[in-house]
Structure 1
Amino acid sequence: MKVVVIGGTGLIGSKLVAELGRHGHEAVPAAPGTGVDALTGEGLAEVLEGARVVVDVSNSPSFADDDVMEFFRTSTTNLLKAEAAAGVTHHVALSVVGTERLQESGYFRAKQAQEELIKASGIPYSIVHATQFFEFMKAVAAAATDGDTVRLAPVRIQPVHSDDVAGAVARTAAGTPVEGVVEVAGPDAFPLDELIRKALAAENDPRAVVTDPRATYFGAELRETTLLPGPGAHLGATRFADWIAEQQA
């Protein structure tokens, strides 16, 4: 089965291409570096020829509110139009656990717009919601940093390893469209402030993590369960403590 992976050269995309290949699928990485640009439409018709499944794990190069909305609206519209013309029978997109609860954030408003376009397209689809990746703890800390202080709310988060996300997306792509959302998370939940404190300490980062119940997450206010998956989420096997130990080794 031919599967085209949009964003197939990035962190998740490269792992996904490898995982699909191991299971006998023809996985084709598609990104600007391979001559395919969903934002402009360049190369889409050619790469989608003969494809049954398209997986979109691309991300905006800019997280500014207007830029990220333009990226997801335009690239998703172009991609869905090209898929319809090519006869693609399953569209899979990677999104974020809690997207619908984080609409004060421009990034998550853009992800919600992406999901709505997919649902309205008429193409059978599956949306995979993942919690924050272990690899993105630095980005979470950076977004919450003011000088030498990182302000974070003590709400729960259940981070996941990128390998486990790629595995979940691959299984979803190889399966029947769910016409809804599949969730994936790590095996353990932590208070967000404690998690980032551990991540920074592991890298000898001198920034101080301050617990602030009013601190926002990429511009959005948080409740205790905002970042947590619901019942029935697929849980990855990799524990954060083991991943940290591996990074230090």
Structure 2
Amino acid sequence: MNSIGTLGFGLFLIVAAGMGAACDPDARDRRNPLDPGNPVTGGRPQNLRALGNNEHVGLSWAPVGLSDVVGYRLYRESGGVGARTDIFGSPPPNEFIDPDVNNEMTYVYRLSVLIGDNRDPVESTLSNPVVVTPGPETCWVVDDGLGRVLKISADARAVSSQVTSIFGARHIALDTRDGAAWVTTQFGAAGLGGVAIRFTAEGQEAAVISGFITPGEVSVDPSDGSVWIADAGTNGENALVV
């Protein structure tokens, strides 16, 4: 009897301990990115990014890879006026262009994840806010230390595009007709020497002009797009029309 009683008591303790762990809310797995107790995400959507462009805002975020995610909900606020947009899809997209904005006005965006049924979804905790001011300005920057050419958003809050492996950059000029940029660099591709490179407004390489010895300042005529490039190696200037 004593041995049976001891065995029964021991079994009872084991079961009770297991039940206690299962019912403890602090002991559950926190790896779900939408769990408010997740130490990395705090249950919020991550990496919401806004780019202010001319009369529109481009938004993107890190997708949430859970099977029951049906979409996202985007909140926008400006001057005390709010708006909400639900974004559904299969799979749900993780980017959106908001055309319903005005240049030089500042907007605040937040994002939530929609779970379950798109007719009556459960909503996650809101993301951290992002602030953006759209506008017509175009800004290009040469970062010679890291060999990059960057295009900055209209409000200078974000990098909209970048091109790497541009070493020895000497000068940059904007083509105001279409927002493209010309960059002169001492080191072109193998065997090209000094070159001038044209980048589209979207940051794509569009043209490469070679044959320079020491290319320097570059200037674009806004009336017809003529490109003037000073080449110190020839003690003169090369004028190009492209």
Q: TM-score band (shorter)? A: under 0.3
Query: Normalization by structure 1: what TM-score?
Result: 0.26
> When you count helix as a share of all residues, which structure comes out higher?
1
Query: Normalization by structure 2: what TM-score?
Result: 0.26
Answer 1 or 2: higher relative contact order, Cα 8 Å, separation at least 6.
1
